[in-house]
Chains A and B, each alone.
Chain A
Amino acid sequence: MHLGDCSLDRDVVVLSVDLPPESRARMYEIGLYTGAVVHVTHRGPSGGRVIAVGGARLALDASTAGRVEVEEL
């Protein structure tokens, strides 16, 4: 399952990020690393997602959200 397919307010764990290394490293740095527990808080108007990572909120566009593989806890 990808982040873009998740239901709202459900805890998921990040399994992998299918992006080139430089973008993947940036996602890690922002907190979206393998093993991180996050949950989707909002859907954006164009298919993007807002996720909670700890106390922070991150917005991802639809394409990026579709490249983060997750599993429900």
Chain B
Amino acid sequence: MTTCHDTAGDAALALAEAAADPAGTVLLVGNPNVGKSTLFNRLTGARQKVMNAPGTTVELRVGAWVGPLVDLPGTYSLVSRSPDEQVVTDTLAAQPHAVAVILLDATALSRSLYLLAQVGADRPVVAAVSLLDVARDRGSAVDTDRLAALLGVPVVPLDPRTGDPDGALARAIPDARPVAGAPRTTPTGAAHDEVALADVERLFEWVHGIVGELGTPAPVRRTRTDAVDDVLLNPWFGAPVFLAAMWLLFQLTTTAAAPLMGFVDAGVTAVADAARGVLPDGWVEGLAVDGVLVGVGTVLTFLPLLAVVYLALALLEDSGYLARAGFLADRWMRTLGLDGRAMLPLVIGFGCNVPAVAATQTLPSAKQRLLTGLLVPWTTCAARLPVYVLLAGAFFPEQAGTAIFVMYLLSLGLVVAGGLVARRTAFRTLSREPLLLVLPAYQRPRLRPILSSVWVRVRSFALKAGSIIVVTLTVMWVLMAVPVDEDAEGSVEGSLYGATAAAVAPTLAPAGLDDWHVTAALVSGFVAKEVVVGSLGQSYAVGDDAAALDEGIRATLDESSGGAGAAAALALMVFVLGYTPCLATVSEQWRRFGARWTVVGMAVQLAVAWVLAVVVFQAGAVLTRLL
């Protein structure tokens, strides 16, 4: 466990203890959607650490409880079918003596006991039973004392949303023991085959024996959840409700988050102004304020947005609607080889790519999260809109709306095409998986555990992705501060940054964009698309004069394109859509998917942006000559 996301005193200590004393470690295991992570949050509070399992992009959390507590990904079986499930199998195999707490779902006891038998055949376990109230409402209450007698292990009834208020679960840990009579299975840990299938049948025989002896009555046919699903899954009402939920989510990432982001931005500006007043003029002030402080400000500005999106996603997940949304959108997303739940991050991406990459956490498998996270940058975020408006307004004032609409269509086209290509190449296995989704009962979300989880995730972004942002922005400031041309000292053009932009400009000549103003703006756009228009204004030294900026960019593109300025403008819009959205998105991808996939993603985006821009410009230039 080497790739750590953040440091939190107790959790770091827990991690060290987990490595040094595996026997003292407690592993939290359970099916997906039974409240395992909620229970983990309640047991450990904020004393936890988020990290990737070694060599994977699968997230593990370690926290401090009676000993180090490890929250493993949700799984139905130890015969793994995905990287997430493999992490569960590997972690259990690496710590054969660690106590496992298995969270059983009282409404799906057979499925839960199946996992319990696999995990607890040789290892000391404690069974915690959740959703007892839902099972009782459905007429199939579970007798936990009888279950404990049948299994020969401690069985603790609990509600994950309240945790372990009376300490019963903690007190049961020393009494943990292997499950009595559980059949041992072939520890394949690999893909399913006929041998594994035979094991499955043998295990279920044992499970049916336990369930039979428990004498749990059959559940009622119709539940309140079924009644709600009559509406939410109805072919006529379900889709509009789903689209309304997506629209609300999009609004949260744009309209609702904007005032919060503005508030933080104003605060950072005030601090920057105060710092300028205190620090001596020159390098120290520039580095501290325009380099480091601007970087910290960029990170802080994203935090309210991420918090809002994490909160919304947690509410959707806890209420039980997220799984329904996945079912409703499944057919559309399946053509891309993606799970229906991938619709959410992609919708959020049209507001802002950063929380969209973060929202991939709701997807069930590592490959799904990775592919969705790699497609998100092609959803055209709100920050790209001002660039389209500037260029469309300057070159096609009569058809500006149409030109911008085409960018949104092209964005959708890129996501679909990217998904289709990925599905036939690096992500070939995704398309073969049938949809088999457990729909949890609807529940009223509990705010406290949700807020605790939002806090942990936001802090994790601030510390890991934030450090990448601050370092990169500081390096960029240094490049801008180093003069290379004494005659133009003090201007962007005369800096090392300007010289670099001029040096790379010829690579955009086939797209009619061979000009340092353009490349300097595109480099700044790598940091954030919000600064592209400002960067162009700065390079023309026109300040806020919009007309002068229009005139400047028209003159530049007319010259760089040999008279086909409109074609070059369209090519530039396409390039802005296609290449890296911003440094914060890259940092979030890096944090979640690692350096290799992030760099591959950036290279593909850059290549696609270049090719599309060249095609658009060349076609536009021919049309310009013909007309």
Contacts and interface: CB of A to CB of B under 8 A. Distances in A.
Given A45-B235, A61-B434, A55 B219 contact: yes
Interface in B412-438: 432-438
Contacts of A16: none
Interface string A21-51: 1111111111111000001011111101010
B196 A30 contact: no
A61 B200 CA distance: 23
A52 B330 CA distance: 20
Given A28-B200, A54-B110, A60-B434, A21 B192 contact: yes
B221 interface: yes
A22 to B, nearest CB: 4
Nearest to A47: B331
B40 to A, nearest CB: 22
A61 B438 contact: no
A31 B265 CA distance: 52
A27 B436 contact: yes
A23 B229 CA distance: 26
B233 A44 contact: yes
B194 A59 contact: no
A48 B323 CA distance: 14
Contacts of B191: 22
A20 B76 CA distance: 18
A25 B441 CA distance: 24
B239 A56 contact: no
Contacts of B239: 45
A9 B107 CA distance: 19
Interface in B67-84: 76-77, 79, 81
Contacts of B439: 50, 57-59
A63 B434 contact: yes
Interface string B216-243: 0011010001100110011100110000
A1 interface: no
Interface in B183-198: 191-194, 196-197
A55 B108 contact: yes
B138 A55 contact: yes
B107 A55 contact: yes
Most buried by B among A39, A41, A54: A54
Contacts of B235: 43-45
A22 B79 CA distance: 9
A50 B233 contact: yes
Given A52-B221, A61-B435, A30 B76 contact: yes
B31 to A, nearest CB: 9
A53 B109 CA distance: 11
Interface residues of B, number: 52
Interface string B313-348: 000000000010001101100100000000000000
B204 interface: yes
A16 to B, nearest CB: 13
B135 interface: yes
A17 B453 CA distance: 39
Contact of B193 (A22, A28, A48, A50): A22
Nearest to A43: B235
Given A31-B108, A58-B436, A64-B436, A26 B328 contact: no
B76 A26 contact: yes
A9 B204 contact: no
Contacts of A27: 436
B434 A64 contact: yes
A5 to B, nearest CB: 17
Contacts of B140: 54-55
A41 to B, nearest CB: 6
A2 B108 CA distance: 24
A44 B110 CA distance: 25
Interface in B225-278: 225-226, 229-230, 233-235, 238-239
Given A25-B196, A28-B201, A31-B111, A44 B219 contact: no
Most buried by B among A22, A25, A33, A39: A25
Most buried by A among B226, B434, B441: B434
Given A44-B233, A45-B239, A26 B436 contact: yes
A56 to B, nearest CB: 4
Nearest to A37: B218
B114 interface: yes
A45 B436 contact: no
B132 to A, nearest CB: 11
Contacts of A28: 197, 200-201, 204
A46 B330 contact: yes
Contacts of A61: 330-331, 334, 434-435
Nearest to A51: B439
Contacts of B194: 21
Nearest to B330: A61
Most buried by B among A24, A33, A55, A58: A55
A59 B327 contact: yes
B233 A19 contact: no
A56 B108 contact: yes
A44 B226 CA distance: 13
12 contacts: A23-B433, A25-B192, A26-B436, A33-B200, A44-B233, A44-B328, A46-B330, A48-B435, A54-B219, A58-B437, A60-B436, A67-B434
- List 5 A-B pairs, minimum CB-CB distance, nearest first: A22-B192, A46-B331, A56-B108, A61-B435, A55-B107
Given A21-B196, A48-B435, A55-B135, 17 more contacts: A19-B434, A26-B77, A28-B201, A41-B226, A44-B238, A45-B234, A45-B235, A45-B331, A48-B327, A48-B330, A54-B108, A56-B438, A57-B225, A60-B435, A62-B331, A63-B434, A64-B436
Interface of A: 9, 19-33, 39, 41-46, 48, 50, 52-64, 67
